[in-house]
Amino acid sequence: MCGRYRTPLALEAANTVIPVSMIRLHDQLPSGFHSRAPLALNATSRAMQGSLILQIAADVRALIAAGQPVCNLTVGDFNPKYFPIPADLLDAIVGAYREGHTNYPPAEGIPELRQSVANWYGRHLGLEFSPDWVVIASGARPVMYATYRLFLEPGDVVAYAVPSWNNSYYAQLCGARSVTIPTRAEDNFFPTGKSVAEAIREARLFSLNSPLNPTGTVISPEQLREIADAVVEENRRREGTDQAPLLWMWDQVYWQLTFGDFRHVHPAALVPEVTPYVITVDAISKAFAATGVRVGWAVLPPLYAERMKALLGHVGAWAPRPEQLATARLLENDGATSAFCTNFRANLSARLNQLSKGLAALGVEHLVPQGAMYLSVRFPLFGKPGVDGTPMRTNEDVRRYLLQRAGCAIVPFQAFDLQHDSGWFRMSVGAVSTADLDALFGRLSKAL
């Protein structure tokens, strides 16, 4: 007690250690829970599919845990031991935390980063726009999903070429109807202007990515111009009707990772008239080996940007303020980014070329390295004895055989919505060393 005042009972209780008996939550689940619990889920979540790549990763981890040598070419990520993020980016992130930048950022992103993105595109892509075109998020995925959510009603059509990354999952989550556009290896797995024009007649959204995940190929300016012209022409056709405009999600997260004579170009640089319809998706995750730093953005007309800001604000899909501040500084430093990207591309290219040469020596069909961190390879082993001795008939049979017999972990194109068994697979070199690749070829030679 102090004078006439007494300590409140609640405060006395707060300073008292109260014994707690342990409750095992698993024991509280009633009999029959697992049979009835799915009824609580809505239809969308019941139909939701997990990533096939993550399922394959479980197989890889099990073999590694058992002590079998595995060259893991499945993950679209970078091993920091081989591919660290830029030192300037790391120092700026740590410094921003120490300076106390730990409060909420604006829902659309901090002004410094939005301006830096606009400046960066102006210097490197020849595109001029104001910062109110830019919405920052925690990586490219939130703005991709937000694009689906903003522009598609249940039952609407989204068109995209296959193979492609994640479009089928986003379509299912939004209740949209997928129209897939077939491609050929001869066209680097990109659609033609004609095939796009045919597929987008009823679509509300069209999606395309270059450099392409999973194939590691880069679209040619000629193909891209044809596609941009098709999008412009389709929107002209819709003028004066009650049909909503066709929008184009242009995913260019790998645009700085091109090799040799292959170069990236933005569709608006080829056909400026396509600008009102393009939502550009980008991030530092691939260009700067910063997949876990989680800074990405969309560039789109301000009317749409306001709606995207509101949606991302409701779910709190913001990049942390320190990472945003650090990224803004990095993008303004052309000397640092150029030096980093030159070395980064050289290390990626060396691994891809090593993989390409080794496959060529084994007589395995593949596409030459063009961009990103991937190589497309074809293993037509159908009819050969598989792991259990029966003839292999599917890509999954081939995948399991190469993993078990050669420690070669790869991803079939089925993980990228290409349904038929073509023998095509994705190889990713971001998490392996050159020594890992050398060791792989001996095992692969024996398995083949």
Alpha-carbon distance of 106 to 373, in angstroms, equals: 33
Residue 176: pLDDT band by 50, 70, 90 thresholds? very high
Alpha-carbon distance of 6 to 80, in angstroms, equals: 58
Name the residue among 163, 105, 159 with its Cα closest to residue 135: 105
Domain count, the chain: 2
- Residue 93: left (phi > 0), alpha (psi -120 to 50), or beta? alpha
Give residue 159's pLDDT.
Answer: 98
Sign of the four-CA dihedral 433, 434, 437, 439: negative
**Is 91 a residue whose pLDDT tops 80?**
yes
In a domain, 420, yes or no: yes
Three-state secondary-structure class, residue 267: helix
Alpha-carbon distance of 352 to 369, in angstroms, equals: 6
Same domain as 238, residue 252: yes
Read off the pLDDT of residues 245-281 as tens digits, 9 standing for 90 and up: 999 999 999 999 999 999 999 999 999 999 999 999 9
Same domain as 66, residue 210: no
Contact 152, 204 (CB under 8 A): yes
Find where tokens 């060529």 sit: 360
In a 13 Å sphere around the CA of 311, the CA atoms on its Cβ side amount to 19
**Is 187 a residue whose pLDDT tops 70?**
yes
Give residue 21's pLDDT.
Answer: 85
In a domain, 20, yes or no: no
Name the residue among 189, 233, 372 with its Cα closest to residue 289: 372
Of the three residues 269, 302, 333, the one that is the final residue of a domain is 333
Q: What is the CATH number of the domain that holds 113?
A: 3.40.640.10
| DSSP string covering 159-226 | EEESS-SSHHHHHHHHT-EEEEE---GGGTT---HHHHHHHTTTEEEEEEESS-TTT-----HHHHHH
In a 13 Å sphere around the CA of 388, the CA atoms on its Cβ side amount to 4
Give residue 8's pLDDT.
Answer: 55
In a domain, 14, yes or no: no
**Is 191 a residue whose pLDDT tops 80?**
yes
In a domain, 126, yes or no: yes
Cα-Cα-Cα-Cα dihedral of 113, 114, 119, 125, to 10°?
Answer: 110
Q: How many CB atoms lie within 10 A of CB 324?
A: 27
**Is 412 a residue whose pLDDT tops 70?**
yes
**Is 13 a residue whose pLDDT tops 60?**
no
Alpha-carbon distance of 171 to 223, in angstroms, equals: 25
In a domain, 32, yes or no: no
Three-state SS annotation for 98-159: HCCCCCCCCCCCCHHHHHHHHHHHHHHHCCCCCHHHEEEECCHHHHHHHHHHHHCCCCCEEE
Name the residue among 256, 337, 300, 266 with its Cα closest to residue 133: 300
DSSP lists the bridge partners of residue 281 as 251, 298
Same domain as 326, residue 350: no
pTM assigned to the model: 0.92
Same domain as 352, residue 418: yes
Of the three residues 273, 305, 333, the one that is the final residue of a domain is 333
Sign of the four-CA dihedral 140, 143, 149, 151: negative
User: Above pLDDT 70, what percent of the chain?
Assistant: 96
Directed axis angle between helix 87-98 and helix 321-331, to 10°?
A: 140
Directed axis angle between helix 434-447 and helix 395-406, to 10°?
A: 110
Give residue 50's pLDDT.
Answer: 76
Alpha-carbon distance of 225 to 18, in angstroms, equals: 71
Mean pLDDT within 418-426: 93
Contact 83, 344 (CB under 8 A): yes
DSSP lists the bridge partners of residue 207 as 160, 249
Contact 140, 282 (CB under 8 A): yes
**Is 407 a residue whose pLDDT tops 70?**
yes
**Is 108 a residue whose pLDDT tops 70?**
yes
Give residue 20's pLDDT.
Answer: 79
**Is 327 a residue whose pLDDT tops 70?**
yes
Same domain as 327, residue 369: no
Alpha-carbon distance of 131 to 154, in angstroms, equals: 32
With a CB cutoff of 8 Å and minimum separation 6, the contacts of 153 are 175, 204
Same domain as 396, residue 343: yes
Alpha-carbon distance of 371 to 281, in angstroms, equals: 17
Give residue 127's pLDDT.
Answer: 98
Q: How many CB atoms lie within 10 A of CB 59?
A: 16
Same domain as 97, residue 69: no
Q: What is the CATH number of the domain that holds 349?
A: 3.90.1150.10
Name the residue among 51, 299, 255 with its Cα closest to residue 170: 51
Three-state secondary-structure class, residue 262: coil
In a domain, 5, yes or no: no
In a domain, 35, yes or no: no
Read off the pLDDT of residues 18-41 as tens digits, 9 standing for 90 and up: 777 888 998 999 999 889 888 898
Alpha-carbon distance of 277 to 151, in angstroms, equals: 12
Same domain as 59, residue 177: no
Contact 317, 142 (CB under 8 A): yes
Q: Look up the domain containing 375 and give its range.
A: 52-82+338-447
57-61, 293-297, 302-306: segment of lowest average pLDDT: 57-61
Same domain as 169, residue 199: yes
Position with higher pLDDT, 17 vs 440: 440
Of the three residues 301, 333, 365, the one that is the final residue of a domain is 333
Backbone angles phi, psi at 421, to 5 degrees: -85, 95
Give residue 58's pLDDT.
Answer: 81
**Is 1 a residue whose pLDDT tops 50?**
no
- Tokens (6 digits) for 175: 């209740």
- Tokens (6 digits) for 395: 């890509």
**Is 4 a residue whose pLDDT tops 70?**
no
Give residue 7's pLDDT.
Answer: 52
Find where tokens 């961009």 sit: 371
Same domain as 353, residue 287: no
In a 13 Å sphere around the CA of 220, the CA atoms on its Cβ side amount to 10
Same domain as 217, residue 326: yes
The per-residue pLDDT of the chain, averaged, comes to 94
Give residue 57's pLDDT.
Answer: 81
Same domain as 293, residue 162: yes
In a domain, 2, yes or no: no
